[in-house]
Chain A
Amino acid sequence: MTFNLFVLPFMLGLIFLIISLVKKNRNWIREMDSTDRKKLKSGLHSPKLIIALKEIFFESLLHRKMFRRNPLLGFMHMSFAFGWFLLIVFGNMESRIYSGFWINPPYYPIFLKFFIHDKHVLPFEIFTVPGFFRFSMDLILVFILSGMVLAILKRSHSKWFGLKSNTQLQFSDKVAMTCLWLIFPLRLVAESFTAGAYGYGGGFVTQHLGNVLAYLWPLNDKDVAYSFWWMYSLSLGIFFVTLPYSRYMHIPTELVLILYRNFGILPRKGSEYLSEVEVLSCPRCGICIDVCQMDTAAGIHNIQAVYFLQSIRNQQVMENIATRCLVCGRCQQACPVEIHADYQRIIQREFFQKSQRQDYSYLRKETTPRAEVIYFAGCMSHLTPTIPRAMKKILAVAGVDYLFLDEDRSVCCGRPLMLAGKSAQAEDLIQQNKRKIMDSGANTLVTSCPICYRVFREEYKLEIRILHHTQYLLELIKKGKVPLQAYFRKVAYHDPCDLGRGSGIFNEPRELLRKVADPVGIKSDGKDSLCCGGSLALLNAGTEEKNMITRQALANYLEGDPEILVTACPLCKKTFAKLSPVEVRDIAELVEEAIPR
């Protein structure tokens, strides 16, 4: 007899969950545009699928990235995810032994110990097939329960796990969480009571626990056990039903996100559905809080990605929280699920700016002289004249036919508008600059400002080469056009957020720097580099708060006692110069200095 009424809550809950997930996924696929849909189709039939599955195994189950950052947190997540996965897999294999069929109803493996009571297997018998499974199932259950203890501790002592404060739970979150925490203890108790009532059939934990329980409550153990099986089924069923409305939606959504990402489906204009996928995928591990400089330097605890994504999920986004972020990319970098928190932050800003117009009709069409290379210094360079001056000298020595496009006055590249959520309004500025660049007939666009560099690459849709000046100078040097006689002073290099994490350019500036100076080692370097605090994306913060972030970054870069702090961004240069006891210079200046007179 392999059916009992008590399995119904579980079954109904499971069916509801599956239907809910199918609907959600269908909606997402329906909202995909043709590019993304093609990527999905081709991805499913390619080796990318294997890579995605591998990532799912290592990240969604084993939580490897999370483990590396915070072992306690990683263990907790892993015990639930991997433990439950193992329970299902091993449970299914165990049930096959007893039913004789390859396909069993879904509830059968879950409630196996209710339906079969094998007296031929002893609790510690590991070396027979059924014994091995009996032992493993109990072991896995203990594994999950240990993680559960940590989960309970996390809610009361969240500081041990990285979350500085627990965010408000919605009603559905509370119900789902309670049920989740009940599931495995109830399974333990149900299996134990059953094993105790029969005197056999349990594993090394459940049998012995069962025997103790049978001793303490000798009457009606089978009935008591039955009520616990009901509770076990109910807790599962209610959990499944509330899951789509709770934070645990991250479990199935994470898998989808990993698949999409491996197929090349990334956030961009036209993929709004992906925002929902990302928001729902947040496992709330709290790693983004640990790496957020607003928290570690400025003591601001309520704006981090985990809280922000939660506010999006609950449709309670506040404008002053959306605007209070450096958009430096550190949280995005550290996220074990690779959620593009920065991108989501800016999208939310767009919602608040939708109705507000800008009027750039005062910009007139201008004639642009012809040149091979356009040098666009960027707005900020007017306030750091050493940088364009150095560039002009180097370009002259190298004999480049260039046009300094924004020498006298500049039309802003448009990215500051986009960071404020006004990307539609930035179009006018983009068109102005684009027209000038195309009119010049140049084949290369070189800029000194990483902010400009990023928008040129991502939004301008130019067909010419776009380079940051570190890349271009390296090229010129390699071609032998710039003679160098460097002093090789001890320096520390700071990766600007928009150049490093934002554009993936880490090696060329370092290669260029090594030709003129002697870089020292830095603790938080490369992808982990710290933001200078001057971010144009931080719309809503006080001067002292920004200064705290600058000082934190300075402490990191000046630890090795460099003579000079070198950067590749005029905004970083100005921001650091305010508080740095050590000289701050741009790489271009060091290169220019090294040119023999």
Chain B
Amino acid sequence: MKPFGYTITKDRQIDFDANDREVTGFINEVEPSIRLCMGCGSCTATCSAGHFTDLNIRRIHTFVQRGELQHLKKEIMKCMLCGKCQLVCPRGVNLRNLILSIHTALEKSGI
């Protein structure tokens, strides 16, 4: 008899407790300035790559803090590291180092 089952759809909500936030902790330690983000969005607004593709660094940062890291690897590959985001940030978040630390953190944890 053929196996018969239902497709299990993933939750469309953030299950905060289920997320492994160890990688988040590592990134926050390497670049503590990211804790200052107030979500104003100037970074995303000024992004050079944003003219060509949908790179949203504010959202990337928020996902990092929530522990939702799965699809970030592809996202951060789009960044040109030009530094405009960092230059407009009113809180002085070191965004370029955030991108580089996400790279390192994802590599280290094998995601």
Enumerate chain A interface residues (CB-CB to B < 8 A): 319-320, 323, 355-360, 362-364, 379-380, 382-383, 408-412, 416-417, 420, 422, 429, 534, 536, 539-543, 571, 574
**Are A363 and B84 touching (Cβ within 8 A)?**
no
| Contact (Cβ within 8 A) A355 B46 | no
State whether the Cβ of B87 lies closer than 8 Å to any Cβ in chain A: yes
Whether a CB of chain A sits under 8 angstroms from the CB of B72 is no
CB of B88 to closest CB in A, whole Å = 7
Q: Are A380 and B87 in contact (CB under 8 A)?
A: yes
Contacts of A543 in B (CB 8 A): 33, 92, 94
- A539 and B100 within 8 A (CB): yes
Indicate with 1 or 0, residue by residue over B56-84, a CB within 8 angstroms of chain A CB atoms: 00000000000000000010011111111
CB contact between B77 and one of A320, A358, A382, A571 (< 8 Å): that residue: A358
Give the docked Cα–Cα distance between A536 and B33 (Å).
16
Which of chain A's residues have a CB closer than 8 A to the CB of B79? 358
3 nearest A-B residue pairs (beta carbon) = A409-B51, A543-B92, A412-B82
Contacts of A410 in B (CB 8 A): 48, 51, 82
In the complex, are the beta carbons of B87 and A574 less than 8 A apart? yes
With a CB–CB cut-off of 8 A, which chain B residues contact A360? Answer: 78, 80
Report whether B80 and A356 are in contact in the complex, using a CB–CB cutoff of 8 Å.
no
Distance of A539 Cα from B53 Cα, bound (Å): 25
In the assembled complex, B107 has its CB within 8 A of some CB on chain A: yes
- Most interface-central of A364, A539, A571 (chain B CB within 10 A): A539
Verify B46–A382 contact, CB threshold 8 A. Answer: yes
Q: Smallest distance from the beta carbon of A371 to chain B beta carbons, Å?
A: 21
Report chain B residues within 8 Å CB of A420: 81, 96, 100
Choose among B74, B82, B94, B107 the residue that contacts A379 (Cβ–Cβ < 8 A): B82
Main secondary structure on A side of the interface with B: loop
Most chain-A CB neighbours within 10 Å: which of B33, B80, B83?
A: B80
Contact count band on B: 20 to 34
B52 interface residue (CB < 8 Å to A)? yes
When distances are taken between beta carbons in the complex, the residues of chain B under 8 Å from A536 are 83, 96
| Measured CA separation A409–B97 after assembly (Å) | 23
Q: How many A-B residue pairs have CB under 8 A?
A: 78
Which residue from B52, B80, B97 sits with its C-beta under 8 Å from A416?
B80
Chain A residues with Cβ under 8 A from B77's Cβ? 357-359
Residue numbers in B under 8 Å from A363 (CB-CB)? 52
**Does B21 sit within 8 A of A, measured CB to CB?**
no
User: With contacts A409-B51, A416-B83 known, is A356 near B103, CB below 8 A?
Assistant: yes
CB pairs A–B below 8 angstroms (29 shown): A319-B104, A320-B30, A355-B107, A359-B78, A360-B78, A362-B49, A362-B52, A362-B53, A364-B52, A379-B82, A379-B83, A382-B84, A383-B87, A409-B51, A409-B52, A411-B80, A412-B81, A412-B82, A416-B80, A416-B82, A422-B81, A534-B87, A536-B83, A536-B96, A539-B100, A540-B97, A542-B33, A543-B94, A571-B87
For A378, give the chain B residue with the smallest CB separation: B82
The smallest C-beta distance from A28 to any residue of chain B, in angstroms, reads: 33
Q: Which residues of A contact B94 (CB under 8 A)?
A: 539-543
- B79: nearest residue on chain A (CB-CB)? A358
Known: A411-B48, A543-B92. 6 other contacts (CB 8 A): A358-B78, A382-B84, A383-B46, A408-B51, A540-B94, A542-B94
Minimum CB distance partner of B75 in chain A: A359
- Inter-chain contacts of B53 with A (CB < 8 A): 362
Chain B, 84-103, CB within 8 A of any chain A CB: 84, 87-88, 92, 94, 96-97, 100, 103
Say how far B46's CB is from chain A's closest CB, in angstroms.
7
Q: Tell me if A539 and B52 are in contact (CB < 8 A).
A: no
Beta-carbon contact of A383 and B96 below 8 Å: no
In the complex, what distance in Å separates the CA atom of A344 from the CA atom of B77? 26
Inter-chain contact A356/B107, CB cutoff 8 Å = yes
B80 and A429: CB pair below 8 A? yes
Q: Which of A408, A416, A417 gathers the greatest number of chain B CB atoms within 10 Å? A: A416
User: Which chain B residue shows the least CB distance to A428?
Assistant: B80
For the complex, give the distance between the alpha carbons of A540 and B78 in Å.
21
Query: A residues within 8 A CB of B74?
Result: 359
* Chain A residues near B78 (CB-CB < 8 A): 358-360, 362
- Please give me the residue from chain B that is nearest to A355 by CB atom: B107
- Hey, which chain A residues are within 8 Å of B52, CB to CB? 362-364, 409, 411
